[in-house]
Every structure is written in structure tokens, then in C-alpha cells.
Amino acid sequence: MNAAPESNGTAERAGGHRGHVLEAIVLITVDLVMLHAAYLATYWFRFYSGIWLVPLGIPPFGMYVATGAVVALVFVGIYYAMGMYAGRGGRTIVDDLLGLFKGVVLGSLLVLALAFFLRGLTYSRSFFGLFFLSTFIFLTLGRVLTRILLRSVLQRGVGTTRTLLVGISPMRTRLLRTIHELPGFAMRPVGWLRVPGDPEVPDSPAGADDDEAASVLDAAGRRQARRPIPEPPLLGEVDRVRDVVLEQGVDLVVLTLPFDQLSLVRKVAADLANLNVDLQFVPDLFSLHTSRMRLEEIAGLPFISVREEALGGVDRVVKRTFDLVATGLGLLLLSPALAVLAMLVKLSSPGPVFYRQERIGRDGHEFAMVKFRTMRSDAEATSGPVWTAEADPRVTAVGRVLRRYSLDELPQLWNVLRGDMSLVGPRPERRIFVEKFAQEMPRYFERHRVQSGLTGWAQVHGLRGNTSIAERTLYDLHYIENWSLLLDVRILLMTIHHVLRGENAY
């Protein structure tokens, strides 16, 4: 191992980090502008539009302007604490919308609390109610415009993070695909360095279809045919890391190493001592059969959690409460549409309206999953249990439309209400398929650690129907290991988009 370079008391310049500052400045500026715009629009709408009565007269504009400045700073402070200005292009539009909504809720509660305690100042409560609504609309518009602007700037090479990769692992493949498929992602690989044992050319190119890890958690939010990704040039061995960083003006060094080469992390960190360059390590999670690692501190000691209980007691209560509220509301709103669909199914072909099929749910529990019938009543009389194929002759005309837009799944809201299923979770399969897949995939049955779902993380990435079971399983395990209520909401929003696309729905 090379000795660490001697320190001269100053940090040498490698690359630049102007892009980090540029993005943060643009995001904060746009948010401040949009918050003030929302405030002014609300002031006009409340006091000058003529829609609302103003029995006490129009309050002084200057007082509201001063208050608006304080409220804007409160919101920006909340978004800063939430990390909304540090995404570096890795956040999707759904991430932004959920973050903005969460910030508006927190900001609204904080401002209302301040207004309650500052009784000496009188403000229109209806004004603040309207402001919180307009704030989300204006901030959303601003964030969409900002994403378009930053994406255009980054595609011109301005503000990008010049990145040097070190080593080969499945996570390297996934990182390259993420960079390639997210135009707003600021990393730009300038090359890579070999570590002992690495080939001069990676065995599996980043776009290979047979590389299972390359397709897991597609960062673009969709599943598509694998396209070849440009391989960054080989710039030498890891021993040259310091020289390469200085020669190439590197901002960020990313170590994509298997766990048996962890000693290189310390070596590279020592070689980069006193350089103004970031160093990050992307662990090979696939070798641990997990998709998540979490760092927490207990009594000053760092603990890295590799595997945790799937949905603890409190999480299960929160998830079940959300299921009951959302499902009850959904059944109430959709009841007329469900009645129409039931009538169409009944008129389309002989047989019952609903089709019940035994599926395997949480902890191997078997339950009767309900769907609108979309096939002939004797569909499996001769074939037995088989996957539905494209243009399957067993599917009725009405059933084909129902399947195209996943309307046949709506009766499963009853399964959710009963507790057999959840709104979001791994899709349940029939016992014959579960036993078959469990033999092919060692971790397949871990999908059953949580309640099965009406929709899931795999489905919103195009993995439904007759698609890769291995890939689907890895998406489901990622969901289980990273569950949150916001993730469930995000998946439900993404489901609407993917249902309209009808990918792999037949």
C-alpha cells in the first residue's frame, strides 16, 4: 500500500464544485420567487378579486409583504433541512412533488402555530388557508421549470460533476445506467481505474441484457429494452488515482468495489489526502442479497444495518390504517364505475361476474383473490394453470379492455378491506407458481414477509405478466427493505401513469 502523501498544510485543487453551488442557488432562488408569487396572488385573490367579502376593509399591503418574506424563509429552511436542494439531479419528479407537499404541510403547521401565539398581529385566517394551497401549485410549477432548465444546462456540460470510477462490481453497472438514463443526473464519468483482479475490459457491458444487476431498480423509473451504454475509458491502475484526479480535474471519485477489496477504500482515501475531491463508496449490495444498508449511531458507535425486520409493529399499524382509509374512499368513489363494469362483464359472455382464485399472501397464507372475470369460464379446462399470453384467445372482448387498463383488478379493493391484501406490496401468485419460483430464486419467498399488494414497486417499473421473475423479485425485496408511507403514495401515483400506458398488460 502506498504511503499517504505528505501534507503541506493546504488542500490541492483537483476538480471544481461550482455545479453544486449553481444548482442550489437556482433551486433556492426559484423557490423564493414562487413563494412570493403565491403570496401576492393569494393577497389579490383574497382582497381584490371580488369573490370574497372584505367587511373589515383591505389590510395594509406592506404588513403582508413583510410577513410573506418571513414565511418564505421558513419554507426554504424546511426544504433545506429536508435535503431538497442537494439532490444533484438524482431526484425524480415524483420525489420532488412528495417533498414539496411534505414541506407545505410542515410549513403550514409551523406558520399557523406562530400566528396563534402572536395574537397581537391580526391576519386573515382564510388568507393563509388559500396561501397554503397556492404555495404547492406555484412551487410545483417552479420545480418543473427548474428541472427543465438544469437538465438543459447539464446536457451542455455546465455544472457537471467530473467523476472517476474505481473497480468493477454490479453496482458499477447500475451506476453507469443511472447516469445514462437520467439526463439531469450531474455525474459525468471521465474514466475508470482497475484494481487488482479486474479485467482491462469489463466482462459484461453496461447494457447487456443478461446482466441481472444492470436492470434492477432502473433509475429512469421504467423498464425498457437494454441499450448499449458508452464504457468510460480505462485510465490505468488504482495506484495512479492521485495523478489521474489532478490530470483530469476530477470532482468525485466513486469506489465500486466488492466487499473482499474493502482495504482499497483506506488506500484510496490516503492517496487523495489534501486534494479538494469527494470520495464515495458504493457497496456491492447484491453480494449480501440486500438492496439497502442504513447507518445509525448508538451511544457514539456506528452501526451499519444490513437486514432488518420487514415492517415493524408501528409501521404495520400505519400501513393498515392508510389502506383502510384510502380503500374505503376508493370504493365509495368508484362504486358507480364498478357497477357498470360488472354489467359489461355479465353481458359479454356466459359465466359469473367475478373470478376468485387462490393466491399465496403474507407468511404463506392462502386467500381467494377477487377479479372481474376476463376469460371464458372454461379457460383452463384443458391447459391447466398457465401465464396469459399476448392476444390470448381465452380472453373475452370486454376482458381485453379491462386487462389493458387493469380495471379487472379493482374488485381486489375488497381483499384490501378484508385484510387479505394491501394497496401496495408484492403481487400474489398461485401456489403452483410460488413453489416453482421458490426453487429457482432462493430469496423468492421473502416477498411473503409483507402483505401482498394491489400494485407494487415491480409493477410500476413495467414488470408484470410474463416478465423476468428474478428481476421482479429483486424489485419486491427492494420495496420491503425500503418501505415508507411516502413510498406507498409514490407507487400509487406511478401506478396511474403505468396503467394508462398499459405496458405488458394482456
Structure confidence at residue 215 as a pLDDT band (50, 70, 90): very low
Phi, psi dihedral angles at 391 (to 5 degrees): 55, 35
Structure confidence at residue 426 as a pLDDT band (50, 70, 90): very high
Listed by start position, the domains of the chain span 18-155, 160-288, 313-501
Among the listed ranges 172-176, 304-308, 336-340, which one has the minimum average pLDDT value? Answer: 304-308
- Cβ atoms within 10 A of the Cβ of 117, count? 7
C-alpha distances out from residue 110 to 37, 105, 125, 254, 432, Å: 20, 9, 14, 39, 54
Burial of 325 (0-12, 13-18, 19+ CB in 10 A): exposed
Structure confidence at residue 309 as a pLDDT band (50, 70, 90): low
Average pLDDT of the chain, as a whole number: 78
Mean pLDDT of 384-392: 59
Mean pLDDT of 374-398: 67
Q: Which residue has the higher pLDDT, 387 or 252?
A: 252
**How many angstroms separate the CA atoms of 335 and 333, rounded?**
6
- Cβ atoms within 10 A of the Cβ of 36, count? 16
Burial of 148 (0-12, 13-18, 19+ CB in 10 A): exposed
Structure confidence at residue 73 as a pLDDT band (50, 70, 90): confident
Among the listed ranges 9-13, 113-117, 127-131, 462-466, which one has the minimum average pLDDT value? Answer: 9-13
Q: Which of 49, 153, 156, 31 is nearest to 103 (CA)?
A: 31
**How many angstroms separate the CA atoms of 139 and 462, rounded?**
30
pLDDT score, position 468: 74
- Whether residue 340 has pLDDT greater than 90: yes
Burial of 110 (0-12, 13-18, 19+ CB in 10 A): middle
C-alpha distances out from residue 281 to 1, 235, 284, 502, Å: 19, 19, 9, 38
- Whether residue 64 has pLDDT greater than 60: yes
Mean pLDDT of 81-97: 72
Mean pLDDT of 302-316: 73
The pLDDT tens digits for 139-192 are 999 888 887 877 776 666 666 788 899 988 878 887 888 777 665 667 788 898
Among the listed ranges 52-56, 135-139, 174-178, 456-460, which one has the minimum average pLDDT value? Answer: 52-56
Helices (H), 123-253: 125-155, 170-181, 241-248
- Whether residue 98 has pLDDT greater than 70: yes
Structure confidence at residue 219 as a pLDDT band (50, 70, 90): very low
pLDDT score, position 368: 94
CATH number for the 160-288 domain, one of 3.30.499.10, 3.20.20.150, 3.40.50.720, 3.30.750.24? 3.40.50.720
> Can you read off the three cell numbers belonging to residue 490?
409514490
Pair 231, 207: CB distance under 8 Å: no
Report the share of the chain in percent with pLDDT over 70.
Answer: 74
Structure confidence at residue 452 as a pLDDT band (50, 70, 90): very high
Cα torsion through 464, 466, 470, 475, rounded to 10 = 0
